[in-house]
Amino acid sequence: MSKEQNIDLEKERKEILNAFKGLLRSHKTRTKEDTRIIRKAFDVSVDAHSQMRRKSGEPYIYHPIAVARICADEMGLGTTAIVCALLHDTVEDTHITLEDIEDLFGAEVRLIIDGLTKIPEVFDETISIQAENFRKMVLTISDDIRVVLIKLADRLHNMRTLGSMPHDKQLKIASETKFLYAPLAHRLGLYSVKTELEDLAFLYTEPKIYEEIENKLKLTKDARTRFIRKFTQPIREALLHEGYIFKIKVRTKAISSIWRKMTTKGVPFEEVYDIFAIRIIVDTPPELEKPDCWRIYSLVTDFYQPSPDRLRDWISTPRANGYESLHTTVMSRTGKWVEVQIRSERMDEVAEKGLAAHYRYKESKKGDNKFDRWVSEIRELMENPELDAMDFINEFKLNLFTDEIYIFTPQGDLRVLPTGATILDFAYDIHTDIGDKCIGAKVNNRLVPLSHQLESGNQVEIITSTKQKPNDEWLKYVVTSRAKQKIKTSLNEVRRAIALDGKEILDRKFKQHHIRFISENVSVLEKFFKMPNATELYFRIAKGKIDLRKLREIENKNGILHLEKKPSVRKMKKSQTIFTKIDSKKDTILIGDDFKNIDYTMAACCSPIPGDKVFGFVTINDGIKIHRYSCPNAEHLLSKMAYRCIKATWKNTDLKENLASITVHGIDSMGIVNKITNIVTHEHNVNMKSISFETNDGIFVGNMKVLVFDTEHLDTLMRKFEQVEGVQRVVRHVEE
């Protein structure tokens, strides 16, 4: 037996060495010194993790090697990042200390490992710890961006190997990935990483839909390949004739993106026209990139008619994360719209490897400056002492905007803002003082109010007044975190100035009543008037909202105030009493059985029925609500409040009717409503609670609520609807 184990260990050692050699091959520009230092890091990591195994049973060392390979292969990072990726778990999980790391690899590697060690898995037991840990990670953006890039590589490998984790852990990690890590990858320009993170998260949160779309992509692959070959042939010949050195790639849309399009546009898979995009990548020197891309655009449109609404020039104005490309959508000869992306080799590497590629292409100053500006905005967020950890996460999410608009100043300077930005956002983007004093603006010479939403291409002139001051209403007019933060800071300054007046009023009142002005007496007043802090107390006194005549009701002993001690009856929130009874990691609610005498009900937002994959969420005052994993609120609950989520499953009980909502889309024709209602009432003996049909220009949408036993019963009913002539799509509806 021991001989077999030895053989296994020997085989493992060889496989580990092969994985390491694969890593070295992926770092194509390494020198002998690079190889030596990477080998040293590998040896240290192998030794430190020698007794550790992953959930899948494989040796732990495979994980750091895989993370290092993602850094080298998919992000194009250099030797230092590879060394740090190999060592990223050593300080946290093994006997190795930061001092050991510095002795062996130097101060720079220590700094990065320290940054990585400060970030445990982002979401922990309580909401404040979750938020604080994420805040720590983002802090490192301004120290060394490689910390965040390695952490993204670490997350990507964990998502690729998520299959070995328990189901509830899979869903929590997937929700967290979709909520923060994928947008962060997008903001850093790592498109391929962002796409894969989104797809892997989708695979675990919506496995049925994922498999359905994946199968449809496989079934249509041959027809797509034939179409692409025909479509690209004349373009290829023209480019060769013009003497260009180029590649033509085909990018198939991510499964999660296809689903997003299907739901937002309300169309079936067959009607998503941009399932793929043609990408033309030209090998050309930096000074010829722009003219060459436009010449190639001209060649493409010689063969195919472009849609004027679908031209996107991100070469003249790169996106905030440095992305540059020329996009157009053209009509093929078979009547299909096709997206064509035109870019240089350099632009393509920046598009795929994002920020990491900027280090190599320093001439791309536009992208770097925009990124530096974003980092400085993040730094401003960090330095705001009034922002608690949860507010920070919400504000940071605002900074990860994906859609941008381009606004011009009166002098013709370009500013990039998120879609939905207003006059006030633009004013604060220019300068805090301009924002604080803004009273309106001229957009393309037309006078507009502060709340006016801007559109790409607008030229904006801000109008200011020295008498203007921010007010609470302004917070409703802005979408950027920068503007929100600046308005809150101004409001707090005004509040503090008013509070000082209140403090003086209280001081005078204390003197009248022979009360000493000391912090203990102020604390007694805070409790008596139920105020959260002294500033709020002073503010309300200044505004006349607190009746200081009530001072007579408080006992005054030699200038010291005393409140009468009443027997305290401490009320616990319902959620606190629930937490004392449950273990959210081990307990499972068996729906249909009593659960520790705790009330649980079906959430109205997604109306779960037997057969749905569900979880319980501990509310503050309404007991436990059962949600579907596909509920619109699930991602938010599982990622931001995972500690309040509890496993749940259905008990096989007697058949019981449950409410489900269905939406039917189709082409309006005589008798179609009759056919649908007949199915409900006769063929399946299903009780209908409500039904409504709307028709518009020959298209109908029917919404109905029916009582069914479980998901199988519901699926059978929906399949019957799909067979009715004229019906195009049937979906289970959830409340937003």
| Phi-psi category of residue 628: left, alpha or beta, with phi > 0 → left and psi -120 to 50 → alpha | beta
Bridge-based pairing of strands 460-464 and 438-443 is antiparallel
Distance CA(704)–CA(435), nearest Å, equals: 49
Taking the C-alpha atoms of 190, 191, 193 and 199 in order, what is their torsion angle to the nearest 10 degrees?
A: 150
User: Angle at the Cα of 714 (from 709 to 720), degrees rounded to 5?
Assistant: 135
Q: Please give the distance of CA 23 from its chain centroid, rounded to a whole number.
A: 30
Do the Cβ atoms of 305 and 329 come closer than 8 Å?
Answer: no
93 is catalytic: yes
Do the Cβ atoms of 658 and 684 come closer than 8 Å?
Answer: no
Please identify which of the residues 10, 93, 125, 725 carries the catalytic annotation. 93
Number of other residues whose CB lies within 10 A of the CB of residue 159: 22
- Which two three-digit tokens encode residue 348? 């393509």
Distance CA(578)–CA(140), nearest Å, equals: 37
Distance CA(621)–CA(598), nearest Å, equals: 12
* Secondary structure class of 615 (helix, strand, coil): strand
92 is catalytic: yes
**Long-range CB contacts (< 8 A, 24+ apart) of 299-305?**
299/235, 299/238, 299/239, 299/242, 300/235, 300/328, 300/330, 300/340, 300/342, 301/328, 301/330, 302/238, 303/234, 303/235, 303/238, 304/330, 304/331, 304/332, 304/333, 304/338, 305/330, 305/331
Q: 149 to each of 41, 137, 212, how far by Cα in Å?
A: 19, 11, 32
* Secondary structure class of 479 (helix, strand, coil): coil
Please identify which of the residues 92, 270, 455, 507 carries the catalytic annotation. 92
495-519 as b/e, with b when 16 or more CB fall inside 10 Å? eeebbeebbeebeeebeeeebeeee
Distance CA(353)–CA(317), nearest Å, equals: 19
- Which two three-digit tokens encode residue 371? 């990124």
Active centre residues (catalytic)? 92-93
